[in-house]
Amino acid sequence: MISIGDMSRRSRVKVPTIRYYEQMGLIGAPERSQGNQRRYEKSDLERLMFIKHGRDLGLTIDAIRELLDLSGHPERPCQNADRIAAAHLASVREKIASLRKLEAELERIATHCGGSTVSDCYVIRALAHHELCADEHDRVI
């Protein structure tokens, strides 16, 4: 049996996050000791590591929930797992494209400034007047 503190150390997932995953139903409610401490099985640690890896890759809780469900049925075809991964990949690629546009605009603004005082600063003017930007850009994340 594994304590919640040990689960946290082994997985590098904070204790409140482990409790949150329990509340979300991603991890089953563990057995309790006589002192009412949570006691996990090795399979719970493996499941937590699966969840953590999915979160590290940026997958949503819903996507992870669906992938966990799929992992419990090894006889099923993997097309749904492929679909989830492909959709997330497309989302990541969109964010990367947006970040590249943002990088280019920030570089343009940062290197365009030739003023010596804030009153002549192009950075300040560009932030105050969006029309000075070369491209449309939105917050990415």
In whole angstroms, give the CA distance from residue 107 to residue 139. 16
- State the Cα–Cα distance between residues 27 and 5, nearest whole angstrom: 15
- Cα distance between the two ends of the chain: 39
User: Tens of pLDDT along 29-50?
Assistant: 888 877 878 889 999 999 999 9
Interval 95-136: pLDDT, tens = 999 899 889 888 888 887 776 788 778 888 788 877 777 666
Note the pLDDT tens digit of each residue in 5-14. 999 999 999 9
User: According to the model, what pLDDT value does residue 88 have?
Assistant: 97
**d(Cα 140, Cα 5) in Å, to the nearest integer?**
35
pLDDT for 138: 61
The confidence band for 140, taking pLDDT boundaries of 50, 70 and 90, is low
Separation between Cα atoms, residue 64 and residue 39, nearest integer Å: 23
Tokens of 88: 């997330």
pTM given for the model:
0.76
